[in-house]
Chains A and B, each alone.
Chain A
């Protein structure tokens, strides 16, 4: 008896528990096997680039918070770097050290969420996610000590940071570091050889390095495919050249490699935080810059190695109080370029875990 089959299109709608926000996938399926996908987004397009043109340079910093809302201060940092390049502003030493500690804390927090969400998508509903969420809550406590807000901190300013760190911040950070290190060792021990994770993630969703370079992929996704590119090493910004740290990479390029790279990066971030906290100098925390800053006419591109990859801001100024044009080189948006090739031939359940392993945030994709 012969069957006749035909492919059909299934819609993974925008409101879906596994789509990490409002992301829609029109998947053409042949039974369970994915033949092709068409990603549709724009459901969170809030017009941030247009709104930045209506606000002053400093007034646009809260808008950048809401781009990649999982790690808000990373966006602030990249934007302030671009404007400082535009205006030729030099940031004081103490502020640079504070920014580095914050950037690495945000990297750890982001990877906590990314790994937890990917394991959620793999089927471990809840337990690994909430274990890592406890660590994220501890990071929230540290950030609340700095500026009063858990998310959407709006702490980094053009020329430095908005206020000095309180006296109890550094001791609290130094207490957090060994505790997180021992937690990660225990956590990794449970999951590294877990046969379900190995079966679901090893060899799944392989991204070849040539495709990654051609698409402009950056961050842990690219490093898991063997591309040894990290802006903290290749194009150092702020004071990263003073710290010693390794850049973890893997060769396989599958979901399991991305998981391993993220866990290793968290440990390297702890190393950087300890070095920065031990050598922080006293001094000013903000350059003497007017609130209503008017950078000279011109353009600048400032980029950082964010937790998800290269986050850049292209700012054009016409010597007025508002940017003439501000474009966000959004990591998650560009990391999605390779999604179609990564999922072809895999099953529906693998589509979900591959998508989860890229780690995107819709605020950045749609802006």
Chain B
């Protein structure tokens, strides 16, 4: 059974190293500060007890006051998974570090989030629109997008 690590458990285990940079966001997901995302992600990937080597998905949701970028990671060795969230409060210029240097599977998915929400991923090798065309006006999946 791929156990989803409960957020309480994860926060307790990580707060030794990343004090103050993450907190629970619901039962199953952990909220991480945007500037600490790369460190936390690298720690989760490389530490033996976690070993999150399999990148499942990245997506985003628009909650009016902020955008929330959701990552789902799985470990093939220990068969457990985790949900990580990052919030961007800057609606005019939302930006999050890119995890492509760690997991190549994030490449296309981050481009899609950029295309449909307008969230920039700093450090992405080739950030451009993927499903819509260059010159499309706006970002369709935002809640305030007017067709």
With the chains together, A367 CA to B109 CA distance in Å? 13
Shortest distance between the CB of A162 and any CB in chain B (Å)? 29
Q: Chain B, 23-57, contact with A by CB distance < 8 Å: what is the 0/1 string?
A: 00010010000000000000000000000011111
**Residue of chain A at shortest CB distance from B73:** A216
Given contacts A41-B130, A213-B76, contact A314 B108 (CB under 8 A): no
Given contacts A214-B103, A216-B56, A329-B56, contact A366 B72 (CB under 8 A): no
Q: Chain A, 24-49, contact with B by CB distance < 8 Å: what is the 0/1 string?
A: 00000000000000000110010101
Shortest distance between the CB of B39 and any CB in chain A (Å)? 19
Given contacts A235-B1, A301-B83, contact A337 B130 (CB under 8 A): no
Chain B CB within 8 A of A88 CB = no
With the chains together, A76 CA to B108 CA distance in Å? 25
How many chain A residues touch B (CB < 8 A): the figure is 36
**Residue of chain B at shortest CB distance from A299:** B26
Across the interface, do A312 and B53 meet the contact criterion of CB distance under 8 Å? no
Q: Give B113-147 interface residues, CB cut-off 8 Å to A.
A: 116, 129-133, 140-141
Shortest distance between the CB of A319 and any CB in chain B (Å)? 14
Given contacts A45-B132, A49-B141, A301-B72, contact A336 B108 (CB under 8 A): yes
Interface residues on B, range: 20 to 34
With the chains together, A324 CA to B63 CA distance in Å? 9
Shortest distance between the CB of B42 and any CB in chain A (Å)? 14
Q: Chain A, 204-220, contact with B by CB distance < 8 Å: what is the 0/1 string?
A: 00000001011111000
Across the interface, do A234 and B2 meet the contact criterion of CB distance under 8 Å? yes
Q: Chain A, 318-340, contact with B by CB distance < 8 Å: what is the 0/1 string?
A: 00000011010100011011100
CB < 8 Å neighbour of A329 from B53, B57, B79 = B57
Given contacts A42-B130, A50-B140, contact A213 B57 (CB under 8 A): no
* Chain A interface main SS type: mixed
Chain B CB within 8 A of A229 CB = yes
Inter-chain residue pair count (beta carbon < 8 A): 82
Across the interface, do A214 and B104 meet the contact criterion of CB distance under 8 Å? yes
With the chains together, A366 CA to B131 CA distance in Å? 6
**Residue of chain A at shortest CB distance from B81:** A235
Chain B CB within 8 A of A227 CB = yes
Across the interface, do A41 and B1 meet the contact criterion of CB distance under 8 Å? no
Across the interface, do B61 and A324 meet the contact criterion of CB distance under 8 Å? yes
Question: Which residues of B sit under 8 angstroms from A333, Cβ to Cβ?
Answer: 108-109, 112
Given contacts A214-B55, A216-B56, A310-B56, contact A337 B2 (CB under 8 A): no
Chain A CB within 8 A of B59 CB = yes
Chain B CB within 8 A of A298 CB = yes
Given contacts A50-B141, A334-B109, contact A42 B131 (CB under 8 A): yes
Given contacts A327-B59, A337-B108, contact A213 B54 (CB under 8 A): yes
Chain A CB within 8 A of B70 CB = yes
Across the interface, do A337 and B57 meet the contact criterion of CB distance under 8 Å? no
Question: Which residues of B sit under 8 angstroms from A329, Cβ to Cβ?
Answer: 56-57, 59, 72
**Residue of chain B at shortest CB distance from A43:** B131
**Residue of chain A at shortest CB distance from B141:** A50
With the chains together, A214 CA to B62 CA distance in Å? 28
- Which residues does B use to contact A, with CB under 8 Å? 1-2, 26, 29, 53-57, 59, 61-62, 70, 72, 76, 79, 83, 103-105, 107-109, 112, 116, 129-133, 140-141
| Additional 20 contacts, C-beta under 8 A, given A42-B133, A215-B105, A327-B61 | A42-B129, A214-B55, A214-B104, A214-B105, A216-B56, A216-B103, A217-B105, A227-B76, A235-B2, A235-B79, A236-B1, A299-B26, A312-B56, A314-B70, A316-B61, A324-B61, A325-B62, A333-B109, A333-B112, A336-B108
Interface CB pairs A-B, < 8 A, 30: A41-B130, A45-B132, A50-B140, A213-B54, A214-B104, A216-B54, A216-B55, A216-B56, A216-B103, A217-B105, A227-B76, A229-B76, A231-B2, A234-B1, A234-B2, A234-B79, A235-B1, A236-B1, A301-B72, A310-B56, A312-B57, A314-B59, A325-B62, A327-B61, A329-B72, A333-B108, A334-B57, A334-B109, A337-B108, A366-B131
